Amino acid sequence: MNRLRLGVNIDHVATIRNARGGRHPDPVRAAHMAAAAGADGITAHLREDRRHISDRDMERLANEITLPLNFEMAATEEMVSIALRHRPHAACIVPEKREERTTEGGLDVAGQFASLKPLVGRLMDAGIRVSMFIEADPKQLDASKALGAPVIELHTGAYCDAEGEERDREFSRIKAAAAHAEAIGLECHAGHGLSYDTVKPVAAIPSIMELNIGHFLVGEAIFIGLDASIRHMRRLMDEARGS
Ligand code: PXP
């Protein structure tokens, strides 16, 4: 089976740094460590309120890391101009509300089609691989395809938050959406809320090509270190994939 890529999201290294200001811990150093621990890419979300990653972090990540950089961004003019300046390997368009604690729910691509279309076109014309962060809903997959985005990332938050039968139901939706993505020719990624407990079933879905994981890895790093937390996640993904 094809190898599943791991994108390590380093936002929350910046969250800890920002709790005191200053420079420590440095998310760029975390990105280098993630590369050494087996990450295939680095993911960072420059939020409108700059609560974790800063503009300077984005600039340094774009200039200093060798792994592909995945820039998570809201669909705003400000973020498009930053993306066009840094030209990351990929841009993942996410919904953003100031008052939310994290990205709650997927982007309504079907509902915002007209405003998203030119924005996605500009990023793609600059050679940036665009993905849409959406719920596991066929309507949103079809709209992403119609938009011309080559990649979708399925929001796994509801699956990770649920328990018992509800989790099974959420998982079935992710599996069906991943199959739908493959059928209509979209590359499928997934992420949000994944942990050692929840990663394996998602990693075992063959048409999913990449997982983006952050909060759990940085949290676990407090106990076992960042290198060990990433290596263990990588191992679980490979086991699930049979590789
Ligand atoms: N993928 C996307 C599009 C996200 O917005 C986030 C959170 O920034 C993640 C993946 C990673 O989620 P978590 O930090 O919960 O692992």
What would the pLDDT profile of 185-241 be if each residue is shown by its tens digit? Answer: 999 999 999 999 999 999 999 999 999 999 999 999 999 999 999 999 999 999 999
* Peptide bond preceding 25 in cis form (omega within 30 of 0): yes
- Catalytic amino acids? 45, 72, 192
104 pLDDT tier (thresholds 50, 70, 90): confident
What would the pLDDT profile of 143-199 be if each residue is shown by its tens digit? Answer: 999 999 999 999 999 999 999 999 999 999 999 999 999 999 999 999 999 999 999
Alpha carbons 65 and 124: distance in angstroms, whole number: 22
- Ligand 1 centroid to Cα of residue 50, in Å, is 16
- Ligand 1 centroid to Cα of residue 15, in Å, is 14
5-240 has CATH 3.90.580.10 classification: no
Alpha carbons 180 and 157: distance in angstroms, whole number: 19
Can you give the length of the chain in residues? Answer: 243
Domain boundaries, the chain: 5-240
State the DSSP string of 114-169.
HHHHHHHHHHHHTT-EEEEEE-S-HHHHHHHHHHT-SEEEEE-HHHHH--HHHHHH
Nearest CA to ligand 1 atom 12: 192
Whether 15 and 51 have beta carbons less than 8 Å apart is answered as: yes
User: Closest Cα partner for 92 from 205, 191, 6?
Assistant: 191
